[in-house]
Each structure stands twice: as structure tokens, then as C-alpha cells.
Amino acid sequence: MKTSLTKMQTVHFSQVKKYKKGLSLGIGKFDGVHIGHYTILKAISQEAEKNSFVPAVFTFRNFPVEFMLCKWEEKIALIEKAGIKLCIWCDLPEISMMTAEEFLEMLSAINVKKIVVGQNFHFGAGRKGNISLLKNNEDIKNFQLVVVAPKRINGEIVNSTRIRAFIKNGEIEKANDFLGRLFFLEGQVVQGKKIGSLLGFPTANLALLNPIPISDGIYAGMVRYSNRIYPAVVHIGPSPTFNEKEKKFEVFIIDFKKPLELYGQTLKVFLFNKIRDIKKFDTEKNLKQQIACDVQQAKEIFLTKKVLKPTL
């Protein structure tokens, strides 16, 4: 099996054959491909370059988790962008009963020469495989182990669990810092009740493709549409001023002149940070005044944050 010099191959683990050049292989879920993962991906590439191996990962398409930080296609694109040339994948149930020893035997059969993992790495049925087991098998299986220290921000270890907690709590700035890019959601624009239009701020109502339990609130963000990037105000939650209890995801795209052409389109909405909580206003006039303030604040945030370009 030949590896492309430019494009990453994505291969199910059952179809992988032996690589004569040898593999520098990172193993993990790579959920969200955050800055901690990039540290591992960089180490994989460095080890591959030093030894003329193929930079590769073994990862999972599906695994038990409260919610995914990005879709499979986005995860693959991010891993490829990091310089990986081979992605070996499976769904976790496919190998959940495989022992650690059996897993290592499989890696040996495809000529893995470097194994690159984080410090808290576990593998095999019952998570019985660990760093010690890997070290004990280096000579037996003819590979070298590289253990990558965890990435920290303000003393806190970067991991997917913390990123999920930030998102659920509305701490989007922290989530973005840990991800190393802008967190986004994606959805199809559907018909709404046109309340925004009546207020002078027509919104795009999104049916999310990747529903994620984000804290209710008003957020500053941006939207990519038709090869342009626009600042945006994002409403996540109910509309108490109008006694609407349904949780909605609405986007007011600032300085966008053709809201009607958005119906049926799929939008990516990138979030910067939470502006305020949702609250009930006594009058529509007071709500309109608050929205105008939200829009101005979102514009100002956009001007300072837009250097953080969306990656996908």
C-alpha cells in the first residue's frame, strides 16, 4: 500500500497492510483535535521525519461521549492539516474486546516503529494497557515509545472533557483557547416566527446539524457565507419577552443585506464569547435597545477577534 505524499489516506483498521517504510503512529480519540492533540501530532511528524517513517494516527470515528466536539469529517480535515499522511480508524465497539497484547500484535503486523501517546494513555479491553506495558514491549515488538507531556493553559491540563464543560457553561473564550481555534456550530436555516424582523433585526433560525448543549445566552460570533465573513449576534435559548419557551438558535448577521436568500442554506456559526444572559424585557422597545447594544458590542469584539480565522 502506497501513501500519497500530499493527501492523507483514511483506512479502516481491518484493511491496513504492512508498511515497509514503517509507521510513526499516534493513538487516541483526538476528539476536537485541540492544542494538546496538536502537540502529539507534531511529535508524530517529527519522529517520522527523523526516521523516514510515515506519520500516522490510529483513532476512532464513534465512541461513547456526551457530545462530539466536531464532526468526523472536520476531525479528519484537522488531522490532515497537521501533516499526518495516514489515518487508521475504527468505531470503538469494533475493538473494545481486544486485549492490550492483541492490539500491540496488530500494530507490530503493520510495522509500527514509533508509538506516540500522551502521559495518561490507556488501551485494550478494560483499559488494562498503559505506558508501563508499552515500555515493557518496546524490544519485544520492535518499536520505540514517545510519551508527550500534557499541554497546560494557566496551569490547567488541556483535554476534551474540560472543553466540553466550558461549552456547556457558555465559557466559549476558554473553549477556544483550549481548542486553538474558534468553536463553531453548523445548521440549516429554517422558517421562524419572524420576531426578529418585526424588531428590525432579522435572524436566521438554524436547525443544528451538531446539537450541543451550550448554555443559554447572547453570544458574539461570526458567520461564513458565500466566501465572506460577517460579524454576528447569536441567540441561544428561549424568548421570554414573547413567552416563547422553546430553545432556539438564532443568528443576526450584521451588515448582511439579503436575509431571504439564506432559507435552506447551511451556515457555520463561529462563537467568540458570551455577551450576556437571556432575560425578559418589559417592552419591545427596551428589547430593541438592548439588541442594538448587543450588535455594537459584537462588532467591537469582531474587530479584535477576527485575527482568529476559522480553520474549516
Contact 84, 116 (CB under 8 A): no
Percent of the chain clearing pLDDT 70 (strictly above):
95
Residue 137 is which amino acid?
N
pLDDT tens sequence across 19-37? 999 999 999 999 999 999 9
The answer to whether position 159 is within a domain reads no
Q: Cα dihedral angle (79, 84, 88, 92), rounded to 10 degrees?
A: -30
Helix (H) or strand (E) holding 21: none
Same domain, 82 and 37: yes
Q: What is the pLDDT of residue 5?
A: 44
- Residue 199, all three cell numbers: 424588531
- Asked whether residue 37 falls in the same domain as residue 102, the answer is yes
C-beta of residue 302 within 8 angstroms of C-beta of residue 220: yes
Q: Do 220 and 287 share a domain, yes or no?
A: yes
Whole-Å CA distances, 89 to 9, 220, 308 = 11, 36, 30
Angle at 282 between CA 277 and CA 283, to 5 degrees: 110
Give yes or no: residues 119 and 215 share one domain: no
Counting DSSP H helices and E strands in the chain, the numbers are: 10, 14
Contact 223, 269 (CB under 8 A): yes
**Final residue of a structural domain among 136, 152, 168:** 152
Q: What pLDDT shows up at residue 36?
A: 96
The pLDDT tens digits for 42-60 are 999 999 999 999 999 999 9
| Section 57-76 average pLDDT | 94
Report the run of H or E that residue 107 belongs to, with start and end: helix 100-109
The Cα–Cα gap between 278 and 236 comes to 8
In a shared domain, residues 290 and 200: yes
What is the residue-averaged pLDDT of the chain? 92
CATH number at residue 221: 2.40.30.30
| H-state helical runs in 14-99 | 35-51, 72-81, 92-95
SS3 262: helix
Q: Do 22 and 88 share a domain, yes or no?
A: yes
- List the CATH number of the domain containing 107: 3.40.50.620
Q: What is the pLDDT of residue 231?
A: 95
Residue 152 pairs with which residues in a beta bridge?
157
Query: Could you read off the pLDDT of 270-297 as tens digits, one per residue?
Result: 999 999 999 999 999 999 999 999 999 9
Instruction: Name which of 304, 190, 289, 303 is nearest 249 in CA terms.
Output: 190
Given a cut of 50, whether residue 4 has pLDDT beyond it is no
Tell me what pLDDT residue 296 has.
96
* Confidence bin at 99 (pLDDT 50/70/90): very high
Q: Higher pLDDT residue, 128 or 228?
A: 128
Asked whether residue 259 falls in the same domain as residue 144, the answer is no
Q: Which three cell numbers stand for residue 28?
A: 487516541
pLDDT, tens only, 243-276 = 888 899 999 999 998 877 899 999 999 999 999 9
- One domain, residues 145 and 192: no
125: pLDDT strictly greater than 80: yes
pLDDT digits (tens, 9 = 90+) for 158-172: 999 999 999 999 999
In the chain the first and final C-alpha atoms are separated, in Å, by 29
**Number of domains present in the structure of the chain:** 2
Q: Which position has the grid cell 424568548?
A: 239
Q: How confident is the model at residue 196 (pLDDT cuts 50, 70, 90)?
A: confident
Which tens digits make up the pLDDT trace of 201-217? 889 999 998 889 999 99
Any residues with CB less than 8 A from the CB of 37 and at least 6 apart, and which? 28, 30
The C-alpha cell at 300 is 467591537
- Split at pLDDT 50, 70, 90, the class of 306 is low
Residues 6+ apart with CB under 8 A from 276: 217, 218, 294
Question: How much is the pTM?
Answer: 0.90
Tell me if 234 sits within 8 A of 208, measured CB to CB.
no
Q: pLDDT value at position 187?
A: 93
Cα–Cα distance, 25 to 114 (Å, whole number): 6
Question: Same domain, yes or no, for 97 and 48?
Answer: yes
4 domain-assigned? no
Domain that holds residue 220: 184-305
Both 196 and 146 in one domain: the answer is: no
The interaxial angle of helices 172-179 and 35-51, nearest 10 deg, is 0
Q: Do 119 and 207 reside in the same domain of the chain?
A: no
